[in-house]
Every structure is written in structure tokens, then in C-alpha cells.
A = this chain, B = another copy of it.
Amino acid sequence: MPKKVIIIGAVALGPKVACRLRRIDPDAEITVIDRDELISYGGCGIPYYVGGDIADIEGLYSTTSHAVRDIDFFTNCKGIEVLSGVEATEINRKEKKLLVRHLKNGKKDQFSYDKLVIATGATPVRPPFPGADLPGVFIVSNLHHAKAIKDRISKGQVEKAVVIGAGAIGIEMVEAMTDLWGVETTIIEMADQILPQALGKNISRIVENHLKENGVNLMLSERVIQINGDGKGGLQSVETSNGTIPCDLVVMSAGVKPNTKFAVDSGLAVGRSGGILVDRRMKTTDPDIYAGGDCVELRNLVSGENMTMPLGSLANRQGRIIATNINGGSAHFKGTVGTFCIKVFDMGIAKAGLTSKQAEATGYDPVHSIVTQHDRAHFYPSSKLMYINLIADRKTRRVLGIEAAGLKGDAIKARVDAVAPLLKNNIDVDEISELETGYAPPFASAMDIINNAGNTLDNILENRNIPIDVLDFIEEFKKGKTRVLDVRGPKEAKPFIEKYGDQWINIPQAELRSRIKELPRNEPLCLMCDTGPRSYEAQLLLRSNGISDTKNIQGGYGMLMVTDPEFV
């Protein structure tokens, strides 16, 4: 008897389960149902469609060989039945039957199954402030939304847009609207930084400045109060705790919520983070029902806690595992370390593991190093600065997380991806110092930034390097609580001395040994060089000469420049 498998949801995970299962079980009867007619699309590509990188919406549901992934494609190429416009209404788990409703005519139907797969995804949250449901206020969840937004923009109906929520989708939509279309865009975020789930403030600040450089109006620590219509079917403005922002279009990207109602109604367990509970085989609490993708919760392999992580890459890998297991195999999805990357204008940002804040909340005692370094050998032309934040637990030295930003996205990805797969293995800082990645001058330094991030964190953990974050330094400096010893050359230091007077001391590295006596001995001193290593050496030299109340500005001038362009 061929196995009957029904899959609810035809985007990302659903089709992946279906196609893999067809390949390993040529006889299975595989049916995929979806409410929508548009199926099997790359939802993550929506901002690039809106932004014009992808000209036609078909690009998002075509294969690499330009075949359109519609119902015929699944029938003819894959041998898989897809029923669109069909909504799952109930599972009769005892009799293993799925009840459905055809959306066109309301007709009801039922299918018996041997195995059922729930791939219902997640839906963007629409915060309940007044005006949230006005026309012109969009969420970005499927291709219909994408089309509607791009239609308005490309018809010239949008001069000013507001994006609510500075998570990944919000930021990608901001770039899409600003970059190609020249829409004047404001992004409003409740937290005091962008990407609060992904990054600590040191790296997020770099990205925030890059957004501003690219003309984006960034409003942090700001609450939306209501959205006002213009009374003619359009929008007038967004009102926040601090003012009114005129706009013609609003994109809501305040996070997503797993679509679990159907699972809950069927008596399947849902976890604390709101996703369907699955075991390592991606089985729900019913052994004949699997679930995966944006609607389930996953184990965070660093914090040990469950979380939802709506990401196409995880969905695809889970899909393969579900198919293997339906076919009698035993494949495991162990969880995630939250690896993430994003392009923001010319910048690439990547992270894995926990932020310092998340690490603290989990009960760790996080310590971090920030390293500024070139992405190629420093003598190689076209090298650009990269910024890495590496986080470890003070006592155990376990590496908890890594964040990176820089102008060469693939190079940023290379550094974080080299660490991400190790994070679940409970590695310590020495493994980062010793990380063996590829070296050649056109691609890396002999002591690569990633190794140096480990070395620096080792020095900090050993209390050899007493660091201060640039953000904290700026605060203390502005309050007059510290002076600076700048060990760069006089030319580099000159504008700072002109600006800050005798709060800014300059002794170049080469003269420091002979001029130590010039330094104040009993007051706080922050040490600065280009990127951090020389000021660290200065700190050691000063300490061995009895000057101990010093802090080394992490990432040096390179970090200062991208953290607070007005300071420099």
C-alpha cells in the first residue's frame, strides 16, 4: 500500500518535504494543500522584488532553470499533487483524517492520511494601535502584499514611507524603498537599537550609522501611538510618542507569530515561545504528525531554551529531515544557534549565538571583545575594515556568540560562519584563537580578525587587557571623567587635540617608553590607537610602570569612527 502523506502549507518547508519524499519514495501518495494560489515562493526575496533587484514576481517562484513552480510544475516535474485554495479546518486524529474547506465555494472535503505535515508558517503581528488596519498599512507576509506595495511605489504614489519595527524584514524593506525608489523612509523602533534580537549595541550602532548615511530617518526608543488616514482612502501620518511623521505608506514589521491555531485546535502541544512543540525528529506530540518551519519552536543550542526562528534555511533543512523520517529513516534536527545575516545597503552583518543581553538573561556572565581589522592582509589593496564582537562566559570561557559587520558581506559571512557551526559544541575562547581558516593575502590577514577576536577576548579574560567599549568611553569622556592617551601619530591626533584640548594627550607609540613620565599617574586614562593593538600594548607598558587606572578603547579609532561620526 502506498503511504498517504498530506502536507498543509506549500511554501518553503511543505514543498521541500514533498519533493524529497517523492525522490526517496516513488510510490507515496503526496498531497500538498494551501490556501493560496501562489505557492512555493521565496518569501525572503520579497524585499528584493520590491526594491527592484528582482524585476518580475515570477522570479520568486521559479526554479534556477526558470521553470515556474506552479501546480502543473509539481504535477508534471515532481509527481506531487498540489491543491490550492484549500484550507485545513480540522484533524480527526483518531481516524487519521484531515478535514478541509475549498475557499472558492465553501465545499468541505476530507482526506485520510498515514502521515501529516503541518507547515503553516507564521504571520506578521499587527500591533493594535488605531489605524493599523487602514488601507496603505501593509504587512509583508506573502506575494500579494509584495505586489501591492511595489504597485503603489512604482506608480509614484509613495513619497514618504514609515516602517514600524527594525527587525530584519523592516530593515530590508527600508533599503528596498530608499535605495531604488528614492522614497523618504523613516524606521521606528521601540528598542534603543535596531535588530535587538540579533545584535548587541556595539555592532548595531555601526549599522544604524550606515542607515543614516544612506538617508534613512531612524527613530529609536520610539512608540507608535496611531496611524492617521487622509480621509480619502490614503494615509496622512504616523503619530509617535515624540511627534508626527507624514507618510503615504506604512509597513508593519513588528515581528511574526507562528500559525498554530489549527495545531492547538487539534490538541497538539505548543511551547512557551508560541510555536508547535516538536522533538528532534520534527514530530509533534502526535507520532503521525510532523511540523516544521516558521510554525514550530526550536531549541537554541547555546541558551538551551526553546525559541521560534522563522528562517527559510532552517525550514528547508527541516523539510529534508521530515521526509527522511516519514520514509522510515531517523534524521535529527538538533536545534539552532541562531545564525543570521543581512545586507544593509553596502554593509553585510552576520551573527550567531547569543547577544550579551541574551547571555545574561540565560544566566551566563558574558564578557566580550571588539576587534577592528582589515578583511584582507593590510598591505593588500581594496582591503576594508571589519568589526567583530565576540562573547564568552567569564567563568567557563565558553564562546556564546559572535557578531560582525563590514563592507564586504561575503567576508563578514565567512568569519561568522566559521564560528557558528562550533557554537553548539561548547567551545572555549582558545578554539577561536586557534581557528583554522583559509589564509592568503587577498582574503585574510595572517593573524585573521577572527583569531584576533579570540586572542583579545583571552587577554580580557586574563585581566591583561582592561577594555572599555566605545559607547561607554564616549559617555565618560563627555562627562569629563577620563582623559585620552592617543598613541597614534601627531597627524592623526591633531584634530582631536584641536577639538578636545588637554583632555586629549598624544604620545606616539614609538616615544611612549621614553615619555612615560609626562603622563598623569593618578587619574583615569582611556587609551586609543587605530584599531586597538597599540593601545593594548601601551596599557601593558603603563601598568609595568605603575600606571594602572587605564582602559583600552576597544576597536580604537576605527570603531569610534563608525560608532559616533560626530565625535571624531
**Residue positions of A touching B, CB distance < 8 A:** 12, 16, 23-24, 26-27, 42, 44-45, 48, 53-54, 59-60, 62-65, 67, 72-73, 76-79, 168, 311-317, 320, 331, 333-334, 336-337, 339-343, 348, 350, 352, 374-375, 377-381, 408-411, 413-422, 425, 430-431, 433-444, 446-448, 451, 455, 464, 488-489, 509-511, 513, 529-531, 534, 536-537, 540-541, 544
Q: Verify A446–B339 contact, CB threshold 8 A.
A: no
C-alpha spacing A541/B409, complex, angstroms: 40
Instruction: List chain B residues, Cβ under 8 A from A433.
Output: 317, 320
Q: Verify A441–B531 contact, CB threshold 8 A.
A: no
Instruction: List chain B residues, Cβ under 8 A from A464.
Output: 23-24
Closest 10 pairs between A and B when the two form their complex, measured CB to CB: A341-B438, A410-B410, A313-B439, A26-B544, A414-B414, A312-B446, A343-B442, A417-B418, A417-B437, A64-B378
Instruction: List chain B residues, Cβ under 8 A from A420.
Output: 418, 436-438
Q: Verify A439–B312 contact, CB threshold 8 A.
A: yes
The residue in chain B whose Cβ has the minimal distance to the Cβ of A63 is B378
Write 9 A-B pairs (CB below 8 A) sorted by A numbering: A24-B464, A65-B530, A331-B430, A341-B444, A348-B442, A415-B417, A416-B438, A419-B421, A421-B431
The residue in chain B whose Cβ has the minimal distance to the Cβ of A46 is B441
Q: Verify A54–B341 contact, CB threshold 8 A.
A: no
Could you list 18 further interchain pairs (A-B, Cβ under 8 angstroms) beyond the known A375-B410, A410-B443?
A: A26-B544, A44-B446, A54-B380, A67-B510, A72-B510, A76-B513, A317-B434, A320-B447, A320-B455, A337-B436, A343-B443, A409-B443, A410-B413, A413-B443, A414-B418, A415-B417, A417-B418, A417-B437
The residue in chain B whose Cβ has the minimal distance to the Cβ of A59 is B379
Instruction: List chain B residues, Cβ under 8 A from A375.
Output: 410
Instruction: List chain B residues, Cβ under 8 A from A530.
Output: 64-65
Q: Verify A377–B45 contact, CB threshold 8 A.
A: yes
Instruction: List chain B residues, Cβ under 8 A from A410.
Output: 375, 408, 410-411, 413-414, 443
Instruction: List chain B residues, Cβ under 8 A from A79.
Output: 513, 541
Q: Verify B438–A510 contact, CB threshold 8 A.
A: no
The residue in chain B whose Cβ has the minimal distance to the Cβ of A12 is B446
C-alpha spacing A434/B331, complex, angstroms: 10
Nearest-CB distance from A149 to chain B (Å)? 17
C-alpha spacing A421/B430, complex, angstroms: 13
Instruction: List chain B residues, Cβ under 8 A from A316.
Output: 446-447, 451
Instruction: List chain B residues, Cβ under 8 A from A27.
Output: 544
A333-B434, A420-B418 given; A62·B379 CB < 8 A: yes
Contact of A418 among B418, B448, B455 (CB under 8 A): B418
Q: Verify B444–A413 contact, CB threshold 8 A.
A: yes
Nearest-CB distance from A97 to chain B (Å)? 28
C-alpha spacing A63/B379, complex, angstroms: 9
C-alpha spacing A565/B90, complex, angstroms: 56
Instruction: List chain B residues, Cβ under 8 A from A415.
Output: 417
Contact of A417 among B77, B374, B417 (CB under 8 A): B417
A79-B513, A333-B434 given; A446·B313 CB < 8 A: yes
The residue in chain B whose Cβ has the minimal distance to the Cβ of A510 is B76
Nearest-CB distance from A321 to chain B (Å)? 8
C-alpha spacing A341/B451, complex, angstroms: 17
Q: Verify B313–A379 contact, CB threshold 8 A.
A: no
Contact of A509 among B77, B311, B529 (CB under 8 A): B77
C-alpha spacing A337/B337, complex, angstroms: 24
Q: Verify A413–B436 contact, CB threshold 8 A.
A: no
C-alpha spacing A286/B62, complex, angstroms: 65
Instruction: List chain B residues, Cβ under 8 A from A440.
Output: 44, 168, 340-343
Instruction: List chain B residues, Cβ under 8 A from A320.
Output: 433, 447, 455
Q: Verify B380–A53 contact, CB threshold 8 A.
A: yes
C-alpha spacing A342/B530, complex, angstroms: 28
A79-B513, A509-B77 given; A23·B444 CB < 8 A: no
A23-B537, A411-B410 given; A435·B421 CB < 8 A: yes
Contact of A510 among B77, B421, B447 (CB under 8 A): B77
Contact of A380 among B48, B77, B448 (CB under 8 A): B48
Nearest-CB distance from A377 to chain B (Å)? 6
The residue in chain B whose Cβ has the minimal distance to the Cβ of A321 is B434
Q: Verify A341–B439 contact, CB threshold 8 A.
A: yes
Q: Verify A438–B350 contact, CB threshold 8 A.
A: yes
A317-B433, A430-B331 given; A510·B73 CB < 8 A: yes
The residue in chain B whose Cβ has the minimal distance to the Cβ of A373 is B64
Q: Verify A313–B544 contact, CB threshold 8 A.
A: no
Nearest-CB distance from A441 to chain B (Å)? 5
The residue in chain B whose Cβ has the minimal distance to the Cβ of A58 is B379
The residue in chain B whose Cβ has the minimal distance to the Cβ of A541 is B26
C-alpha spacing A425/B420, complex, angstroms: 15
Q: Verify A53–B417 contact, CB threshold 8 A.
A: no
Contact of A446 among B42, B378, B409, B436 (CB under 8 A): B42
